Amino acid sequence: MASSSHYHYHKDDDDDEIDLDTPYEEFYNNCALVQEPEDRQRRNVHERHREEGHTLLWNDYFADNPTYSPALFRRRFRMNKSLFLRIVNRFSTEIPYFRLSEDCTGRTSLTPLQKCTAAIRQLAYGAAADSVDEYIRLGESTAQKCLHKFTAGIITLFGEEYLRRPTQEDLQRLLHIGEQRGFPGMLGSIDCMHWEWKNCPTAWKGMYS
Predicted local distance difference test score (pLDDT) of residue 102: 83
Predicted local distance difference test score (pLDDT) of residue 4: 46
Instruction: Give CA–CA dist 117/68, Å, rounded.
Output: 15
pLDDT tens per residue, range 33-89: 555 566 666 666 677 788 888 999 999 999 999 999 999 999 999 999 999 999 999
Judge contact between 50 and 137, C-beta under 8 A: yes
- Which residues of the chain fall below pLDDT 70? 1-45, 189-197, 205-209
Judge contact between 74 and 84, C-beta under 8 A: no
How many residues does the structure list for the chain?
Answer: 209
Angle at CA of residue 179, ends 177 and 184, nearest 5°: 130
Predicted local distance difference test score (pLDDT) of residue 164: 87
